[in-house]
Amino acid sequence: MDKVIIWVKQFSKKKVYYHKDIAELFKYDNISLWWLVEPWLDRDSKYFPSVSDIFYKRNEKIKKTEEIKHRLGTLLMNYSFDLKTRLRKRTIGRNNIYPCNILVTTHPSFLQSGRNVRIGSIIDDLNKQTEINVLYYDDLASFGLKTREQRKRYTFVNPIELFYDYETTKIIQQQRKKFLSLYNRMMKSIDFTSAFIINNENAYHLLKDRLDFVLKKMIGEAIFYIETTKKAIKLMKPKLVIQMSGSTLQGKAITAAAHSLNVPVLEIQEGLIDDTLYYVHSKEDVLRGCPMPDKIAVYGEFTKKKLIGYDGYDEKNIEIVGQPNTDFLFRKIEDKNIENRDPDIYLLKLSGKKIVLYATVADLTKEVALSILSRIVNSFKDKKEFALFIKPHPRDSYISEYVKMIRGVDNVFIKKEFNIYDAITLSDYVVAFSNCTVILEALILNKTVMGLIPKEINNFLPFKPYVDSGAVLLIDNIDNLMTILEDVNNNINLQKKLKEKRNLFVKDQVYKIDGKVNERISDLALDMLKHKYYNKTIKT
């Protein structure tokens, strides 16, 4: 396991204030808020160094941080989460609230062309068989517009902001104030300020801005999501909660809120699971207040073994169902008429061009996102045999900059509202970041895939199975992309070898591609509902 993860886990056990560790100090409602914010210690940021930056002595990053001090970090923390939430509450609107058997929680970034591509089929299936409500979280990218569209389409859909009422606001503000006061006292403790030994030196002064961000701003957001979810559960009275963002702050908050009201949680795997602070949890972590779902539905055998290996996940509570998206992909594989649906792409293919899809991600800084795309676009200039198709992530906020960048480049185009699965199906090659689920989906659709390992992104870790399998062509220097693309395009034997490796990889990662994954998940949820399944061991 990476030494950064080991260090963070060891730090969480240190007695940093009045003989208590940080998980103990941030106890809240029978769980610890620490586990919700722990991954943020090592998330890449333009403004302050991560634990990885310090471990691997990325001096330019650290120097830059010292120069700007924490001006932007302070601005982020002072930016009113309360005001932002209240404004969204006004733009989204509301439906009537009814009691239900199952509460499904999801995220607006899963909405593409008006449909929830991650969990839409499960919602439709469950709605036919029992009473459900759907709760959308954190619609930042469209400022509530996507959630509003869903609310108008379905009477059982509501935004989380709806439950940010006077009573909940009062609780959140009181608890935020309590933990802010605690953190201010901790900063005066030698036990705390001397607990950050990295490479035999005290790195507290380097991590101070990040600690402020994590233990002030992110702790406050964790409390917000717990309390608003509790309010929703109290009003909707579900007997089961479904969530599919277990690795995130929101996902863990949903689980914590449900368990505080004795409601079981079914988590559906979303994205790839590997050795990161999002999923590496031991039994000791669970006993120290890490919120865990009662059951987790996973893609395949690989994921199940991975979770069991972390020790915090009980084998009997892990169900292999397959990847929900493969039902949609299964239909795409059978669709013979898809190439006729987009006239631009159809004409490009007719002219003999190979379509290369580049799928962006949402969490990059503007500087990094534009630098990477600029180098990719430049490599396609004057290449008559290829056309670059840019598909922005639903939460990508730099699209207007992309449009400016590609202006005047004939063989590069961008389509914002295009469904990602149609985009993959219509493409000959796929270029994506080598830790993305898009790669898995492209492999399922039998596409040749190039996985980026960009040096511009600090502590970027590719999904190890992509590396080990050989099914993905890995690119650590974007300037080499076109050379590799031309090589594979002209090498039939290499294409055959990649296809063999793709088939083996998909078999290991995904249980079945039979168009029935969502049905299996719905059956699992209904079975938990019927038998009132509740994993008592996670409450011990």
The model's pLDDT over 511-523, given as tens digits with 9 standing for 90+, comes to 888 889 999 999 9
Is the pLDDT reported for residue 464 higher than 70?
Answer: yes
Task: Round the CA-based radius of gyration of the chain to a whole number and report it.
Answer: 23
What are residue 451's DSSP bridge partners? 432, 474
- DSSP codes of every residue in 350-386: HTTPEEEEEE--SSS-HHHHHHHHHHHHHHHTT-TTE
Can you name the CATH fold of 335-509? Rossmann fold (3.40.50)
| CATH 3.40.50.2000 in the chain, residue ranges | 335-509
Where is mean pLDDT largest: 81-90, 152-161, 346-355? 152-161
Mean pLDDT of all residues in 25-37: 95
Mean pLDDT of all residues in 333-342: 62
Write the CB contacts of 7 (distance below 8 Å, at least 6 apart in sequence). Answer: 51, 55, 198
Write the CB contacts of 307 (distance below 8 Å, at least 6 apart in sequence). Answer: 273, 279, 296, 298, 313, 318
Amino acid at 406: I
What is the pLDDT, as a whole number, of residue 482? 96
CA distances in angstroms from 59 to 50, 117, 208, 367, 418, listed in the order given: 12, 41, 16, 18, 41
3-class SS at 388?
strand
Confidence grade of residue 224 (pLDDT, cut at 50, 70, 90): very high
The pLDDT mean for the chain works out to 86
What is the pLDDT, as a whole number, of residue 376? 96
What is the pLDDT, as a whole number, of residue 171? 94
Is the pLDDT reported for residue 332 higher than 90?
Answer: no
**pTM, 2 dp:** 0.82
Euclidean distance between CA atoms 421 and 110, whole angstroms = 12
> Cα 89 from chain centroid?
23
The model's pLDDT over 361-380, given as tens digits with 9 standing for 90+, comes to 987 888 889 999 999 999 99
Confidence grade of residue 463 (pLDDT, cut at 50, 70, 90): confident
Is the pLDDT reported for residue 69 higher than 60?
Answer: no
